[in-house]
Structure 1
């Protein structure tokens, strides 16, 4: 019996670097870069929002109201977001959501810079961002199988699994804290808007 390897058997080109295989697809590279910026912006926003509320009205109840608005918006529309992702072009959804994020945070930043920002503005903005998040990630998850082969989906999900906690819970809040400590909350909102804007440019380029 021959012990020679089967030369006709396909060779695994990725080897131990299989997790990087999705990055060979240009559309995925642009998409995950946009998602990373969006997650980074969300991480910054959590701190910007809190410190902006404190700057306007140093009342824990006001902060609770604003934070609750974001959570309610997300929970109330998460099912709708999932259904919409099944029926509407996913790329269109995520571009629309990122546009909404950009406009919402830009309005907050401008109002803050001119001294016209109020708690109810932040509550409405938080609700809008929560609703937007309910549409964004179902559409992102539904888009992945359209741009990547099935064998690369697990690796792509793993990348997001790393990006989300790192940028949303660590890097984003830390950067927001440093920016606001050196300046003021409204400038933090400007940075968040810039991140959403950069993400939108990448999404349009996909």
Structure 2
């Protein structure tokens, strides 16, 4: 992998720049809808429009990531979002500011994310040596956490000084910079499957991906664990702002504080996993991190003071990169390169859909049962899931260092 450091710096830089612009627009639209409509229904529609397309497209996008040039797919997705954002900015400047246009934009952005996610996950092993994947994924996680920390504040500041259309144009500019960086400077050979003549249909390729999972039982255990664990994470992910409002007070600074605590935790966690690398067995790192998240979820349900609540929220944030990074690296290391896109597509579908499904379960219950009890209950179940993960022999075998075992 000649010049891999140059390539990864260019790639991560382009993705971070693009993510910053996208995050600015995401928060700006969310707040614009909130301030304009003051409607929970409108916000729900916006959230649904933002995840349904990704969920539906991910399996197909996974096939594309294996069949076609992954670099071009990433550029195409960024370009599609940038063009749609530019058109929306022009329409808004002309005075046509209907809310439904923002729902359409959310759906288009979700389509772009659905195309990008499997391609980005699958392209990293092409440009990064296997022994550096944990470090690079950890750095990538830290950069994303920084964007999560900076983007809300930057978006809020921009909304006080500029119009929504101006923020749209910033996103177009950041996307253009990211696209030009990949086009002009990022050189990477096409992976083997994409370079070969395609002799099978899309459906056949997708079925081959499912067959690959059937032939590798550790993947079935892996996906099952994540599906259940993400459902259980829903109360901690979505209901904590409501809990804070009900329990500690409806001050805006409190809601801001929990977001900041979580983001700072994620930045710290990304730096820790990038420098430490985790335990020798990646499943041990995943189980350790999931146990921290489980304990923090339980603790959020019993914390008597707000400052202690913030401490547990920060610890939860630290655990997220410790959990996500070895998860991603294990897929990148263990799955055949020709199937990486499809496996990441299915993984993206699970990660996109399970927490919203969890909200369909726990959201209505939160109006009947105190959120504290939901956090205590799901936290306890997450502890059980973490212990089961740490004892899964198939996953433990796959979590070993590459030189210690075979695929």
- Tell me which interval the TM-score lies in, with the shorter structure as reference length: 0.7 to 0.9
Structure 2 CA distance for aligned equivalents of residues 40 and 197 of structure 1: 13
Find the counterpart in structure 1 of residue 22 from structure 2.
42
| TM-score normalised to structure 2 length | 0.43
Q: Secondary structure at the match of 2:96?
A: coil
Whether the 8 Å contact between 2:4 and 2:127 is mirrored in structure 1 is no
Moved more, 122-131 or 60-69: 60-69
| TM-score normalised to structure 1 length | 0.81
Write the mapping of 1:3-82 to structure 2, written as runs, cut at 5 A: 25-54=5-34, 57-82=37-62
Structure 2 CA distance for aligned equivalents of residues 35 and 126 of structure 1: 19
Shift of 1:190: 1.6
Find the counterpart in structure 1 of residue 168 from structure 2.
189
Structure 1 CA distance for aligned equivalents of residues 23 and 125 of structure 2: 27
Structure 2 CA distance for aligned equivalents of residues 171 and 23 of structure 1: 31
Whether the 8 Å contact between 2:49 and 2:106 is mirrored in structure 1 is yes
Q: Secondary structure at the match of 1:115?
A: coil
Whether the 8 Å contact between 1:46 and 1:173 is mirrored in structure 2 is no
Q: Secondary structure at the match of 2:78?
A: helix
Which residue of 175, 179, 191 corresponds with 1:200?
179
Find the counterpart in structure 1 of residue 145 from structure 2.
165
Q: Secondary structure at the match of 2:123?
A: helix
Structure 1 stretches of 4+ with a deviation exceeding 6 A read none
Write the mapping of 1:133-144 to structure 2, written as runs, cut at 5 A: 133-144=113-124
Structure 1 CA distance for aligned equivalents of residues 180 and 58 of structure 2: 25
Unaligned runs of 5+ in 2: 187-407
Aligned length: 184
Which residue of 121, 141, 152 corresponds with 2:101?
121
**Is the counterpart of residue 180 in structure 1 residue 129 in structure 2?**
no
Moved more, 57-66 or 136-145: 57-66
Structure 2 CA distance for aligned equivalents of residues 62 and 153 of structure 1: 40
Structure 2 CA distance for aligned equivalents of residues 186 and 69 of structure 1: 20
Shift of 1:77: 1.4
Moved more, 49-58 or 158-167: 49-58
Q: Secondary structure at the match of 1:94?
A: helix
Find the counterpart in structure 2 of residue 150 from structure 1.
130
Classify 1:36/1:143 alpha carbon distance in 2 versus 1 (closer, same or farther; 3 Å): same
Structure 1 CA distance for aligned equivalents of residues 134 and 166 of structure 2: 38
Whether the 8 Å contact between 1:23 and 1:29 is mirrored in structure 2 is no
Structure 1 CA distance for aligned equivalents of residues 160 and 116 of structure 2: 30
* Structure 1 residues 166-203: Cα deviation after superposition (integer angstroms, max 9, x where no partner): 20x21112111111111222212221222112111112
CA RMSD of aligned residues (A): 2.0
Whether the 8 Å contact between 1:52 and 1:186 is mirrored in structure 2 is no
Find the counterpart in structure 2 of residue 88 from structure 1.
68
Whether the 8 Å contact between 1:43 and 1:171 is mirrored in structure 2 is no
Structure 2 CA distance for aligned equivalents of residues 23 and 180 of structure 1: 41
Unaligned runs of 5+ in 1: 1-21
Q: Secondary structure at the match of 1:25?
A: helix
Find the counterpart in structure 2 of residue 106 from structure 1.
86
Q: Secondary structure at the match of 1:64?
A: helix
Whether the 8 Å contact between 1:112 and 1:186 is mirrored in structure 2 is yes
Structure 2 CA distance for aligned equivalents of residues 114 and 58 of structure 1: 24
